[in-house]
Structure 1
């Protein structure tokens, strides 16, 4: 197998994992709706609507990543969505420590989410180029 074939295979595997991550994360908005209330800033309106909307968008964008014709658009939309989620991450930092179901969200855990958000934005940015 040539290096470009290996790269292409790796690209496809990572793409499927990345897309599946968004589809599963989106479904989680419907399965664990209550958990999302705890991380949403109080100033945001219609929490339930926003939780469901973000779930639908994550599922849709994850599926769109799998098709070459919509991949670039999906990646840009994921970047915008992740940036829109930043207030929730900042709110978590401000609110920590707090309990999210049976998990204690410490300030460290809340802060660690920011680099992961940056990583997910970077991964989406890669798919805007291919």
Structure 2
């Protein structure tokens, strides 16, 4: 329950930020993504829909799987953000620390979304505790 609630807050907030302030997200979108502005707006709606879906029992499993896939699909933007930030002149220690922590966390976000809806229970056995 807490896992789903936390993910709902995280993705709901991120979705609102994508819609209200798309420019920073457009700037980290890889160049091969067509119509980055529209994609960022779409991802904002997807995050909000996933956040709401996690709270609706009939939609919960679909939302969790969708958010897990979403976390996989946005990883290239996370990589581009890290490369751009860290290759810029004067990259600070804080930027290095942020990206060193952020990039390895992406698989955790994939797992958390799947775990929160009982799609996976590994490394726990039996019923997923995140529900």
Fold agreement, TM-score > 0.5:
yes
1:45 to 34, 44, 52: 34
- Secondary structure at the counterpart of residue 58 of structure 2: helix
Q: How does 1:89-108 map to 2 (within 5 A)?
A: 89-97=78-86, 98=88, 106-108=95-97
- Secondary structure at the counterpart of residue 67 of structure 2: helix
**Partners of 2:12 and 2:2 in 1: CA distance:** 15
TM-score, with structure 2 as normaliser: 0.77
TM-score, with structure 1 as normaliser: 0.78
When you count helix as a share of all residues, which structure comes out higher? 1
Q: 36-45 or 109-118: which moved more? A: 109-118
Instruction: Note the aligned Cα RMSD (angstroms).
Output: 2.3
- The residue number in structure 2 matching 1:68 is 57
In the superposition, relative to structure 1, how do residues 104 and 52 fare at CA in structure 2: closer, same or farther (>3 Å)? farther
Structure 2: segments with no counterpart, 5+ residues: 119-130
Structure 1: segments with no counterpart, 5+ residues: 1-11
**How many residues are treated as equivalent by the alignment?**
116
Q: Work out which structure has the larger RCO, using CA pairs closer than 8 Å and 6 or more positions apart in sequence.
A: 2
When you count strand as a share of all residues, which structure comes out higher? 1
1:15 aligns with 2:4: yes
